Amino acid sequence: MARKEFPGDPRRSADVVPYTPATSNGDGSIYYMVAFVSSMATLFLKNKWAGWVALYASLLSIFSDRVSASSSGGSSRLSTVVLALTALLMSYMPEAVALFKLAKQEGGGAAAST
């Protein structure tokens, strides 16, 4: 579409720069979404493998993100790492509690018999 010149128009047609949309690497946002969904799957379904996927994807979302994007939303990227670590901790918690109780029973039984 050609620009219509008006009499007395202060704009110079030689200085007009056409708009070109910026290309962005969207991989960081994909990893962010995978990390978030996998963390929630780990918390609700207790799938340990989904927790490891969440941790891996959250680290990839931080490392593949642009510097300019991380200054505005860096805390949300870091929160996915914390969420993934929390999901892993909660998925391994029943086994850790069972081991702790077993060690306490073995240690308590030996102390009571002496």
Confidence (pLDDT) at 50: 95
pLDDT tens track for 86-107: 999 999 998 889 999 999 998 8
Q: What is the pLDDT of residues 7-50, one digit of tens each?
A: 666 777 777 788 888 766 555 678 889 999 999 999 999 899 99
Contact of 88 with 42, CB cutoff 8 Å:
yes
User: Which pLDDT score, from 0 to 100, does residue 53 have?
Assistant: 95
How far apart CA 66 and CA 56 sit, in angstroms, is 18
- Tell me the pTM: 0.64
Measured at the CA of 44, the angle between CA 86 and CA 93, to 5 degrees, comes to 45
Phi first, then psi, for residue 65 (nearest 5°) are -80, 150
Where would I find the H helices in the chain?
27-45, 48-63, 67-113
